A and B are shown apart, each in its own frame.
Chain A
Amino acid sequence: MKTYSDLEYLKLSKGKKFLYKISRFFCSIPQKILGLFVALWNLIKKGCSKVKEEAVDIFSTFVNGDWKTKVSFLVMGFGNIARGQILRGLLFLLFEVVFIGYMVLAGGYWLSMLPSLGKVGPSEEYDFVLDAYYTVYNDNSFKILLYGVLTIFFIIAFIYTWRVNVRQNKLAEQILAKGKKLKSGKDDLRSLVDDQFHKTLMALPLTGILIFTVLPIVFMILVAFTNYDGAHDGYYSNLFGWVGLDNFNTMLNWNVNSGGSVQSYAATFGEVLSWTLMWAFFATFTNYFLGMFVAMAINKKGINLKKLWRTVLVLTIAIPQFISLLYVSKMFAKNGIINGFLMSMGWITEALPFWEDPTWARITVIITNVWIGIPYLMLITTGILMNIPQDLYESARIDGANPWQQYTKITLPYMLFVTGPYLLTSFTGNMNNFNVIYLLTGGAPTNPAASSAAGTVGYTDLLITWLFKITQGAESQYYLASVVGILVFVVVALISLVVYNVLPSIKNEEDFQ
């Protein structure tokens, strides 16, 4: 598209300026994505050269090192011990012993089973005397996958430690060559609460994150490449195994499962995704602007009982969503209190299809979400609004700006600047807003054309509620749910990356300092 110079741009009318900005933004997307790939490629290249560097370093350490260093390649910590750093050396040695012990006793088994995820499934035996069946359970695919991944983590940790061990030998040799003294065990311990204090502090949280966050995520991602489902739970019913990219093919191929009039999974995914984005957009921005409006209205001079209004609104937060949402869902039902009231007043003769009609249902969930969301936004924005320097408004008034101009030129830019990151997180949060959708509609009304092999899909289903339905469906297709999970991550990550980079708070960091 045509790029304008600054002068040309300034000559454009307001509408054209806006259009120009928007088209610039969209035109820059392919370039940004390309940039992402370039960055990725550079990262890989950098990684490769780093590995090469390391290899060369290890090799030269071995060739140039003394015999203590050479033995350390096999017996970790030997060099440290031989040079008097007993504590360090013993720790290295201990780690090696533990590692070898683990690999011999358990790790080797988990690792060897990982490629097959188990060989012998459960078998049913019959006891003639007792006239009873009992089951002999054998391999457990679930545990193999879990402990297999854990073992790989352990191996990576070992390789890293081994590398550190080699490097320390080299450093020790260099230090000794210069005639300096090596750190003793006491020095090491002291440094842990002194210059190495960050390591002491971070050790526990990092281990926790690794075990309770990273490991499950890796595990869940790997499930997408297996056939783990209700009939293949890996232990009690059948083993599960690797299926490669089959599940992604099922989910993303337009032709799979499209017998006759039934949508393929890809089409269903597309529909659910588009509604998810629509929902996230409306849920975020209706709340944002209406919340801001309410906050401004309450803040206005001359409004009495400010505290009362705020308390009334905050009451919605005080009631747990589980209760209020289920109740609202009943209220809007066909025979609920709202339809009942309208009918008894004679305003309508038949119930309004709040949850029955796709469009009605979508609008109703968005409006209900406004009701829940406004109080939060009101609380957040009240504080920020009070922070805007009053002299800005004063000078604007003197210059003759009307309230609307004051809002668009002062309030809104300031708000966007401060709450930009919040908007982004709440957008992604809304994409995964399980509670509101599941408790209000459960995804209803059903989309009859959508494939229902993995649970029924409705017009108000978000990707996250669909994912849940897949796991709860007749076949409990955990593998398909995992695929959806990965795709949700990809979508959210892409949106976050793009939006984050255009946020005013990131782009013009200095503006409101």
Chain B
Amino acid sequence: MKKFLAVLMAAMMMFTMIGTAGATSLAGTYDITVWVAENAVELTKTQIENFNKTNELGIVFNATVEAVSEADAATQMITDVEAGGDLFCFAQDQFARLVQAGALAKLGVKAAETVSAANSSGVVAAATAGDTMYAYPLTADNGYFMYYDKSVIPEEHIDSLEALIADCEAAQKYFAYEMQTSAWYLAGVFFGTGCVSEWTMDEEGKNFVSVKDTFNSPEGLIAAKGIEKLVKSPFHLSSSSGSEFASGAAIVVTGTWDFNNVQGILGDNMGVADLPSFEVDGKEYHLGSFNGCKLMGVKPQVDAVKAAALHQLAQYLTGEQCQLERFEALSWGPSNLNAQASEAVQANPGLVALNAQAPYSVPQGQIHGSWWDIAKVIGDDIKAATDEAGLQQALDNYYDKIAALFKLDNNALLFVGAWNGWNNADETDTFYFKDGVLTLDVPESDYMGGRIVNPGKWDTDKGFAQVVTGAELIQDLGVEANPDNNIVFAEPGNYTVTVNGSEITIVKN
């Protein structure tokens, strides 16, 4: 069915191609709205002017550039897509929401190839949902590190969280690390002890189908103890604003965007460093972090010609030249590989600190929108905890909330086949392996076959070749008749299928 559809689609596209062969020229004037961060408004205006002058396609944009912060863009888009900017910039964590809300246009095939080749792999993954690229990488510096006041913090202490907390308490100065109001900062601690939270989307990129999350584990408990040290200090401040240096902070964990701000406040006393380590039960754990990026998206258009023209502009604005201009004017770290290699970028102190943190940072893939709300509460929960059981309770709460929101299984597998209409979406609870075990009714049909896949995928994860026990219950059709390695039952009935590592056991009930 899937293949038939594909052929049909291809045929239809051929017709479309013939039909629209006349509309190849993009030349024309387009009225568009562009949303960028406030400090980038003037620069973007100039860049669009440059595009109008230099492009060889005859495209002229009559652009209205509006200031909308990258943190708000998604909410504003989702509230009213119609009134949203044709081009808009947003932080990576909002990507999944925007795709689900139908507020991002897919990149064309050629554009996707060009952009993938020109940018670092992490940011390309950030702009991709399922198998589809939906946005243009704009920066690659959305990570965080530590700024500190050299007059308060001695340099030899910057590697130890405990020493830093003690210094702050002694000096009655604040340690600003946004642990209670932002999952983005909080999750780094868990990554530092080896926990993961990895989310998988279906091929279309519209739905999340599985998650591997180990925050609620012995390693997670170690991370919780690390967070506890920080949030229970009376001089911890849950903030990530560089301006806190002006109101009594000695340390602020934030990113490159605050560089000029902090330098303005601290002057020569400003120090930057990668995040410190914390100690639990005699063992050191370096604080981890997220590294993400900012993206530029194109709003879906009704008119294919305008859409194509907008994509040309987006490609230009996120290209090497514009990224370098932005680096020079605003210190935004480029995602473009050529731009990253330039000397000026290599020497920037903020980016140097970010690079020092890089070995401990985790690329921020696609994450379920609700995760941010669920995870950020951990900090408050840990603060309220009075003993280790309380810490464990915080992690349990977190786990339960994700489980309530989403099927949580660290080895998510589905059995797709004739019995569920070859459905590989996550809604098919009945065909979902829980702890590796699935009991299934095989109905009488012409082809009583199927295979074990990861949710949202069609490729066989496990199949005929992996069946070790119960081979007599299934048919051996040979590789030619069964290229997909399907498991084909000999007769209908109720079966229990168990997956253990790479071995499958089938028992008839």
Contacts and interface: CB of A to CB of B under 8 A. Distances in A.
Contacts of B105: 132-135
Interface in A224-260: 230-231, 233, 235-238, 257, 259-260
- The SS class assigned to the A binding surface is loop
B396 A260 contact: yes
A128 B16 contact: yes
A125 B109 CA distance: 13
Contact of A473 (B101, B370, B393): B370
B249 interface: yes
A92 to B, nearest CB: 39
Interface string A51-70: 00000000000000000000
Given A130-B24, A262-B400, A453-B401, A231 B301 contact: no
A257 B404 CA distance: 6
Contacts of A129: 17, 20-21, 23-24
- The SS class assigned to the B binding surface is helix
Given A334-B237, A474-B97, A127 B308 contact: yes
Interface in A331-361: 334-336, 340, 343, 349-351, 356
A128 B111 CA distance: 13
A472 interface: yes
Given A262-B404, A452-B370, A134 B300 contact: yes
Contacts of A122: 102
A195 to B, nearest CB: 48
B404 A259 contact: yes
B307 A236 contact: no
Interface in B394-439: 394, 396-397, 399-401, 403-405
A135 B97 CA distance: 18
Given A130-B26, A335-B237, A453-B405, A448 B380 contact: yes
18 contacts: A128-B14, A128-B17, A129-B17, A131-B308, A236-B81, A237-B100, A237-B103, A259-B400, A260-B396, A334-B237, A335-B244, A446-B376, A446-B377, A448-B397, A453-B373, A453-B404, A473-B373, A474-B368
Contacts of A231: 100-101
A475 interface: yes
A291 interface: no
Contacts of A128: 13-14, 16-17, 20
A230 B311 contact: no
Interface in B3-27: 13-14, 16-17, 20-21, 23-24, 26
B380 A445 contact: yes
Interface string A109-143: 00000000000001011111111111111000000
B305 interface: yes
**Interface range for B:** 35 or more
Nearest to A469: B373
A450 to B, nearest CB: 8
B397 A136 contact: no
Contacts of A233: 78, 81, 101-102
Contacts of A127: 16, 20, 23, 304, 307-308
B13 to A, nearest CB: 6
B106 interface: yes
Nearest to B384: A448
A230 B377 contact: no
Contact of B78 (A135, A260, A334, A476): A476
A319 B495 CA distance: 73
Interface centre among B100, B106, B305, B401, by most A CB within 10 Å?
B401
Contacts of B384: 448
A441 to B, nearest CB: 12
Interface string B297-338: 000111111011001000000000000000000000000000
B13 A126 contact: yes
A151 interface: no
Contacts of A451: 401, 404
B482 interface: no
A449 interface: yes
Interface string B363-400: 00000111111101110110110000000011011011
A475 B377 contact: no
A136 B302 contact: yes
B106 A124 contact: yes
A259 B368 CA distance: 19
Given A128-B13, A129-B24, A136-B302, A261 B78 contact: no
Contact of A236 (B109, B300, B381): B300
Interface of A: 122, 124-137, 230-231, 233, 235-238, 257, 259-262, 334-336, 340, 343, 349-351, 356, 444-446, 448-449, 451-453, 455-456, 472-476
Contacts of B303: 134
Interface centre among B14, B108, B373, B381, by most A CB within 10 Å?
B373
Given A230-B100, A474-B372, 14 more contacts: A128-B17, A129-B21, A130-B307, A132-B308, A260-B400, A260-B403, A335-B244, A340-B248, A445-B180, A446-B377, A449-B397, A452-B401, A475-B97, A476-B78
A230 B97 contact: yes
Given A127-B16, A135-B301, A452 B100 contact: no
A90 to B, nearest CB: 41
A236 B237 contact: no
Contacts of A343: 172
A123 to B, nearest CB: 11
Contact of B394 (A136, A235, A448): A448
A257 B374 CA distance: 14
B461 to A, nearest CB: 27
A132 B110 CA distance: 9
B174 interface: yes
Nearest to A442: B181
B269 interface: no
A453 to B, nearest CB: 5
B304 A452 contact: no
A271 to B, nearest CB: 15
Contacts of A132: 105, 108, 304, 307-308, 311
A225 B430 CA distance: 28
Contact of A134 (B24, B78, B307): B307
B377 A456 contact: yes
A383 B305 CA distance: 69
Given A129-B17, A131-B110, A335 B376 contact: no
